[in-house]
Amino acid sequence: MLSVKVHNLCLKNPVMTASGTFGYGEEFADFVDLERLGGFIVKGTTGSHREGNPYPRMAETPSGMLNAVGLQNGGVEKFCKEVYHRIKHLDTNIIVNVSGSSIEEYCDVASQIDELEKIPAIELNISCPNVKKGGMGFGTNPEMAAQVVSEVRKVYHKTLIVKLTPNVTSVVDIAKAVEDAGADSVSLINTMLGMAVDVEKQRPYLSTITGGLSGPAVKPVAVRMVWQVAHAVKIPVVGLGGIATAADALEFLMVGAKAIQVGTANFIDPAVTMKIVDGLEDYCKRHGINDINDIIGII
């Protein structure tokens, strides 16, 4: 009833988790049956170990939060040698978010992940707002976005999802550019660039001054962008941005997302993804829907 396809990926249901909010899955194993997820996207992985940004790295804002983690991670080698072997037995789609500062770094990481049998896809992160070099720089310019995608396409042979930033004038232009360059799917939205000031201390909350806004506050923007992109490209769209309930997930599905990712909501209720899967089942039953694909893109 709930199974969907994103390119070659078969998902038990459309519910996945967003990179950077779910660690390597293990952190949530006490709360969530990981194999009941359609998939999960592991933490952004770069060519070598990164310490990320100085703290403070987060601030709470109305119905949302700002983060400036800056891709702290152990590097691709550590992922392949250690983390992968701890999670590869899980019967779900484990997707690695691939990040970098240069086209060479993206290609290096992607080609190493390509070797891992149980990783059926990568999510190419050309949209991180919290790193000085690369990241969002690639995702805000259609030519650069196309260039990094076509180079990665040469070395990566499985499902290639490209994660897009909302911090652009026309997200459709970027989506079309990466589709033409060989992407199998796009996911959107990454965080929105934001800022908050501690007026008592008379300084920004974040060490980096600006950071990425996530949570329910960004949801209407994300729904609008998913709707625009889903009508403009032929490849499947994965929707995310502020999803916290089954109704939120349904909004994204109805405007054209084939699957969704849950991010910040995992922090508020670590078991929220299971509730969303249950809620989708319940919705289908209540509305006499036999196949969730019947409501995807109805708007």
Partner 1 sequence: MKEIHNFSILERRQLGSRYFALVLGHGGRMQPVAPGQFVEVLVEGSRDVMLRRPISVHDVDEEKGTMTLLIQIVGNGTRKLAELGVGDKLNVVYPLGHGFTSDLRPQTSALLVGGGAGIAPLLHLSKVLKAKSVSCTILLGGRTAELIPVRDEFNPYGRLCIATDDGSMGHKGLVVEHPAFSESYDMIYTCGPTPMMKAVARSAAERGIRCEVSLENMMACGVGACLCCVTDTDDGHRCVCKDGPVFDISTMRKWYEK
By annotation, the residues acting in catalysis are 128
Q: Which structure tokens are listed for 116? A: 């891992």
Cis omega (within 30 of 0) for bond into 220: no
Residue 18 contacts residue 260 (beta carbons within 8 Å)? no
* Residues whose CB is less than 8 angstroms from the CB of residue 245 and which lie 6 or more positions away in sequence, other chains included: 275, 276, 279
Q: Which residues of 41-51 are buried (b: 16+ CB within 10 A; e: fewer)?
A: bbbbbbbeebe
30, two tokens: 């006490």
**Whose Cβ is closer to partner 1: residue 20's or residue 256's?**
20
27 vs 35, beta carbon nearer partner 1: 27
Q: Which of 73, 83, 28, 107 is nearest to 271 (CA)?
A: 28
Least distance to partner 1, CB of residue 195, Å: 16
Q: Which residues bind partner 1 (CB under 8 A)?
A: 20-23, 27-28, 30-31, 43, 51-52, 55-60, 62-65, 67, 69, 72, 215-216, 264, 266-271
9 close to 39: Cβ distance less than 8 angstroms: yes
Distance CA 102, CA 96 (A): 18
Residue with structure tokens 């996911």? 187
Q: How far is CA 253 from the centre of its chain?
A: 15
Find the shortest distance in angstroms from Cβ 293 to partner 1: 31
Residues 6+ apart with CB under 8 A from 36: 12, 13, 92, 273, 274, 277
Which CB atom, from 84 or from 227, has the smaller least distance to partner 1? 84
